[in-house]
Amino acid sequence: MSTALNESAAMAVPQRTPVTRTVLMCKPEYFTVVYRINPYMDPSLPTDTSLAVKQWETLYDTYVGLGFDVRLIDPIDGLPDMVYAANGGFVIDGIAYGAKFTFPQRQPEGPAYMDWFGQAGFDVREPVEVNEGEGDFLLVDGVILAGTGFRTASNSHEEIASIFGRQVITLTLINPSFYHLDTALAVLDDTNIAYLPSAFDEPSLMILRDRFPDAVIATEADAAILGLNSFSDGYNVVIASRAKDFERELRARGYNPIGVDLSELLLGGGGVKCCTLELRR
Ligand code: ARG
């Protein structure tokens, strides 16, 4: 018994403090898979829109239960990927940098999200360069981690640096299954992240190892079901319920993982984080 006590004392699980979030979501009323722009999508497989809505509502209810301020943007018929609100822009300091999508199928989402930001009172900056919003831009420790390789153009990293006046760190993705930064890296709080090393090129890995020596290293199995695509308030981490290793590791580090099942939205290549855009005033 004393051994167990000593061990747990030695590990000293840190106290984590939740910070209430404001997020934007889009109900998947028109969700389906009719084109293929990532390896998860297969238009020949059936999708169940009402199940997608039900699963999404569980995520919505989870956020409300955590005390989040959840805002909604109206879904648009013919834009099945609009549910992945993370791609709609990047919002900090009351400024909303709009998205400019890589694939024509999603391009109309850019203006739709910018209209919403404008009506909600954000200072909207129209993008010149191709970028897919918070899918590829993540804020940690005041610094913007910026993905490139599949979707977001590296030119947008300079654009975003000049708009927000913050340091931007470019990270290059190399595995098409992890085509957005938020599929390969999760921000857990102000200073901690989790990531999948094999998703990044060597120079990016050197930066990540150097900057985040204590990062949670995800397993390939968890990452493959987009387990890293999670959303944290600093204590509660909403994750894919199938990401068991990630769940265990988060708990060991003093976080409170909360599993949700978004299997239907995984057919479009998205998970928890993809459905969530943080709004920071
Ligand atoms: N079908 C969408 C696409 O390929 C999924 C987007 C997932 N979003 C994300 N933030 N990773 O663009």
Q: 10 in a domain, yes or no?
A: no
Burial grade of 244 (CB within 10 A; 0-12, 13-18, 19 or more) = middle
Choosing from 32, 34, 38, 90 the residue with most ligand 1 atoms within 8 A of its CB, the one to mutate for a pocket test is 38
Catalytic (active site) residue 180: yes
Nearest CA among 187, 184, 183, 155 for reference residue 170: 155
Per run of 10 residues, the mean pLDDT along the chain (length 281 residues) is: 50 91 98 98 98 98 98 98 98 97 98 98 98 98 98 98 98 98 98 98 98 98 98 98 98 98 98 98 93
89-92 vs 95-98, strand pairing mode: antiparallel
Q: 3 in a domain, yes or no?
A: no
> Ligand 1 atom 1: the closest Cα is on which residue?
268
Query: Is residue 101 in contact with ligand 1, taking CB distance under 6 Å?
Result: no
* Amino acid 7: pLDDT: 52
Atom nearest to 87 CA in ligand 1: 10
Q: 175 in a domain, yes or no?
A: yes
The answer to whether 265 and 77 are in contact (CB under 8 A) is no
Largest CA distance in the chain: 62
Query: Is residue 88 in contact with ligand 1, taking CB distance under 6 Å?
Result: no
Q: 195 in a domain, yes or no?
A: yes
Atom nearest to 180 CA in ligand 1: 11
Query: Rounded CA gap, 268 and 280, in Å?
Result: 27
* Amino acid 12: pLDDT: 84
The answer to whether 255 and 237 are in contact (CB under 8 A) is yes
Q: 14 in a domain, yes or no?
A: no
Query: Rounded CA gap, 199 and 8, in Å?
Result: 33
The answer to whether 129 and 97 are in contact (CB under 8 A) is no
Atom nearest to 133 CA in ligand 1: 10
* Amino acid 1: pLDDT: 42
Number of domain units in the chain: 1
The answer to whether 279 and 72 are in contact (CB under 8 A) is no
Phi, psi of 55 (to 5 degrees): -65, -40
Domain containing 183 equals 19-278
ipTM of the complex: 0.97
Q: What spacing in Å lies between the alpha carbon of 6 and ligand 1's midpoint? A: 45
Q: 134 in a domain, yes or no?
A: yes
Q: What is the CATH number of the domain that holds 115?
A: 3.75.10.10
Catalytic (active site) residue 275: no
Q: What spacing in Å lies between the alpha carbon of 106 and ligand 1's midpoint? A: 10
Q: What spacing in Å lies between the alpha carbon of 40 and ligand 1's midpoint? A: 10
How much is the pTM? 0.95
Query: Is residue 152 in contact with ligand 1, taking CB distance under 6 Å?
Result: no
Query: Is residue 274 in contact with ligand 1, taking CB distance under 6 Å?
Result: yes
Q: 186 in a domain, yes or no?
A: yes
Q: 13 in a domain, yes or no?
A: no
* Amino acid 81: pLDDT: 98
Query: Is residue 135 in contact with ligand 1, taking CB distance under 6 Å?
Result: yes
Query: Is residue 133 in contact with ligand 1, taking CB distance under 6 Å?
Result: no
The answer to whether 86 and 182 are in contact (CB under 8 A) is yes
